Homo-oligomer: A and B are copies of this chain.
Amino acid sequence: MSYPKQMLDTYPRTLNVDAGVLAATIDALNDCAQACTADVDDDLSEQNVIELVKCIRLCLDCADVCTATVRVTSRQTAYDANVTKPLLEACAATCKSCGDECERHAQIHEHCRVCAEACRRCEQACRELLGAIK
């Protein structure tokens, strides 16, 4: 069992949301942050780095926003929808922009294809969690 799921299963109180949905979002956010950090590094190793500047910039943003979002959504105590909901919206929007740009390079660079996939999954996971929380 993944650590997010294990930790949610040992939470001392009642969760605000289904543990499976939340754990899946946490996994998708961690995957996306990791893929974007690695994709920046891959881009910096390519000969045509100048054509990848927009991809690098959006992957940096996406890694930072996913890292903040995974921390905030991992917290259940004293839950505040006014914090979690706009952040999930911002994270989904960032994953959309970043996924679109990575996809533009997916046929040339396999690492951009993998990263685009992680962004798409994360965007969808954020939207699913937004649908599930109060």
List A residues at the B interface (Cβ < 8 Å).
Answer: 3-4, 6-8, 10-13, 26, 30-31, 34-35, 37-42, 44-46, 49-50, 53-54, 56-58, 60-61, 63-65, 67-68, 70-72, 74-78, 80, 82-83, 86-87, 89-90, 93-94, 96-98, 109-111, 114-115, 118
A34 touches B7 (CB 8 A): yes
Most chain B CB atoms below 10 A, which of A41, A94, A111? A41
B44 touches A56 (CB 8 A): yes
The distance in angstroms between the C-alpha atoms of A45 and B50, with both chains bound, is: 9
A75 touches B46 (CB 8 A): no
Q: Looking at the complex, which one of B30, B76, B114 makes contact with A45 (CB distance below 8 Å)? A: B76
Number of copies: 4
B30 touches A26 (CB 8 A): no
A3 touches B35 (CB 8 A): yes
Q: Return the chain B residue nearest A50 by Cβ.
A: B49
Q: Return the chain B residue nearest A80 by Cβ.
A: B97
B53 touches A77 (CB 8 A): yes
The distance in angstroms between the C-alpha atoms of A9 and B4, with both chains bound, is: 25
B97 touches A93 (CB 8 A): no
